[in-house]
Amino acid sequence: MAPTLEEQQKLTDECTELPLSLPKEKGWRTLHLYQFQGFWCQSAEIQSIMSFQKHFQANDTDIVVASIPKSGTTWLKALAFAVSNRHRFVPNSKSHPLLNSNPHDLVPFLELFGTHIPFASLGNSIQNSDAKIVYICRNPLDTFVSSWHFLNKVKPESGSPISMEEAFDMYCKGIVGFGPFWDHMLGYWKESLLRPNKVLFLKYEDMKEDGAFQLKKLAKFLGFPFTLEEERGGVVENIAKLCCFENMKKLEVNKIGSSIGNFENKNLFRKAEVGDWVNYLSPKMVERLSKVIEERLGGSGLGFEVFP
């Protein structure tokens, strides 16, 4: 239910005062990040999150695509859209919406939408409904490098870009948008173990290694399994090709315009390589972040290979 003007104004007033009482740290791009409900976010995001929690009513047929930023979000949105709408839009059609629209413009679309909000802050409406949640995570070493490059491509509000060394120190301390990354991952990971029919947990590296298998798993989870006829007809491969990084990056629609706030579409696509961190992180940085990963994720059953 949409909030009334009075409710919206009340929320605006609350959110104007709220950041003053919240813990804050220097932001990567903005002047500050605020610790809200246990995770870090910009002050401008707090009102949207609170409004979402108070007023969004989930339907049992909704599909939520969730991730921490720069973990394969755009890719997963494209795949989820193509899979759930393949009978309406044939994957190998020259007029497929993904050839003319950025994935972020298509999601939300009908009953499909995406979020970076941690599981605990999604709100009771989503948590208690039969809505499906698909979460994608990525090796934190690669996520850090991708995040740093992305946020330094957009104009920092604070002036000069943040150095990799300073950003890395903050990342290891959990100070990053919607982080700490370990809490973000574990929230969805634990829920996927408790309710596997509710939350599907995907790893970026697994999807790069065996895309067809992961795509079929995604389709089955969403309630749109591929038929034998579709598999024999190459539908799985057609969707994988349509949504692959190389194809999306070369599309004109993804070279111009903006689909997320002031972020230009062209900045959403960099390398999409597994292990690209080796080109940027020193041995000491790798050792430190690997230790953080082990300390924070150890014993959970969730882990990442540093060296394949």
DSSP 212-266: HHHHHHHHHHHT-PPPHHHHHTTHHHHHHHHHSHHHHHHSGGGTSSEEETTEEGG
List CB contacts of 127: < 8 A, sequence separation 6 or more: 119
Query: Out of 32, 87, 104, 116, which one is annotated catalytic?
Result: 116
For 186-192, which contacts have Cβ atoms below 8 Å and span 24 or more sequence positions?
186/296, 186/297, 186/300, 186/302, 187/118, 187/119, 187/120, 188/66, 188/119, 188/133, 188/135, 188/137, 189/135, 189/137, 189/300, 189/301, 189/302, 190/300, 191/119, 191/133, 192/135
What is the pairing mode between strands 32-36 and 24-26? Answer: antiparallel
Question: To which residue do tokens 């804050």 refer?
Answer: 24
Residue 87 annotated as catalytic: no
Whether the bond between 180 and the residue before it is cis, its omega within 30 degrees of 0, is yes
List CB contacts of 241: < 8 A, sequence separation 6 or more: 92, 247
Active-site amino acid positions = 116
